[in-house]
Structure 1
């Protein structure tokens, strides 16, 4: 199982990672570590993959698996039920695991610099335009200047072709977003999800942003991609508060890449 660890200056008890498709028992178009239970894969395979992930990470609890709908609802991990409809989750208690599933959409992991609150965000273009980032920041209740954000793997700016309505939606909210779009064939545009997310974060006052750049579409060995393959699996991006004594679960792991 190959996992990606965020390269960011979070406190050592803030545990976070993003899965790849490496590992797992799923076969066919879902081959590897598919963690999505809504994409047509055998339920028993998804259950085994999720169990293997919990064991590999020594998770303190099952992640809060969300019913993601490309909206901007934010779930409170302490009170939300598994399968609740939301596209982000926040937690402030040790051992509460937040997670989002992606296969081209952008996952964001967030913590405050003191390591008291964490969040996971699923941000496709609809969620970004609808304000899922801003809603999550509000739910965290921390000063934007105190937050750290990591951008996980998503479809890259050379592969994400969108219609003019997508560009119009972002420019209506922020004319400066014009720089995140490049002309493609006909009336289509190439959109940079990473740049759009960074712009939204900057507008909200968040400047400590890390990661970004891993393209799911162009790397079939490591990542699932809905745009590339249609029916496919899902990766997970997870974050939780661990042992505040400063011990780092990942420190001795060799199967993680920055």
Structure 2
């Protein structure tokens, strides 16, 4: 079942200080509907939801943003590839996109992974990054910063809702891989009373951003796993869950 057209879309604007010509939004799951795991504003076509409904949701989102073209949806692969957008691309395989074009909107989908939105203080470039634990370990934060034509301390970064440190259990091998890659990541893990390890995705990203010279980092610390009525969560609900979108674009001054 798709979102009723007479209801406002479940969309928020991230709370962070960005240039006047930069726009960003993040979506919620919308009103939960009994018997429908994807209710009611799923934006992922790859999760076995009815394609017609998802397409309508995407069209409604595009119209609400007042942008000339539909956002560039990615085929996300939990890697580090970040593309520069152009109008000819159709569902490219990547986990991030960037643009300096006023006609293009960057967008990524999440349901526990960390959404990262970025711009520079001059408001001439934006990027949207999908950062799961694999992407963080492989260096997607480094790759994101490399896309910008400015020093790291001129970047403005927003870390969105993701699965929180009390709910993201990982195995000891993964933790060790992180620590061997960057020793400062050790503080992003904790162990519970029975010896299980848990990871703090936002802290992993923030630590690396700070190491690379980023000073302006803003966060929405809500946990997707815990806020059932607001967010989709793959870890909580399994394969029968939808996806939220996080978009950023430039408007002509």
1:225 to 1:55, Cα distance in 2 relative to 1, 3 A: same
Q: CA deviation at 1:75?
A: 0.9
User: Is this contact kept in 2: 1:194–1:212, CA < 8 A?
Assistant: no
Unaligned runs of at least 5 residues, structure 1:
245-258
Choose from 12, 15, 23 the match for 1:7. 15
Q: Could you list the per-position Cα deviations for residues 165-184 of structure 1 after superposition, in whole angstroms to 9, with x for gaps in the alignment?
A: 22111101221211111103
User: Which among 53, 65, 79 is matched to residue 71 of structure 1?
Assistant: 79
Distance in 1 of aligned mates of 2:212 and 2:185:
14
The structure 2 residue matched to 1:135, chosen from 131, 143, 147, is 143
Counterpart CA distance in 2 for 1:236 and 1:24 is: 17
The alpha-carbon deviation at position 59 of structure 1 amounts to 2.3
Contact kept, 8 Å, 2:32 with 2:229, in 1: the verdict is no
1:32-69: per-residue Cα shift (whole Å, max 9, x none)? 11000000001101101101111122222111100101
Pick aligned residue for 2:175 from 167, 172, 175: 167
Within 2, Cα distance between the matches of 1:79 and 1:24?
35
1:238 and 2:247 are equivalent in the alignment: yes
Which residue does 2:4 correspond to in 1?
A: none
Deviations 1:194-230 (A, max 9, x none): 1000011011111110013111000111100000001
Aligned residue for 1:205?
Answer: 213
* Cα distance change, pair 186–24 in 1 and its aligned pair in 2 (3 A): closer
Measure the CA separation in 2 of the matches of 1:22 and 1:218: 15
Instruction: Tell me whether 1:95 sits opposite 2:103 in the alignment.
Output: yes
- TM-score normalized by the length of structure 1: 0.90
Q: Normalising to structure 2: TM-score of the pair?
A: 0.92
Partner of 1:158: 166
What's the CA shift for 1:5?
Answer: 1.2
Q: 2:133 aligns with which of 111, 118, 125?
A: 125
Computed over aligned residues only, the root mean square deviation of the Cα atoms, in angstroms, reads 1.8
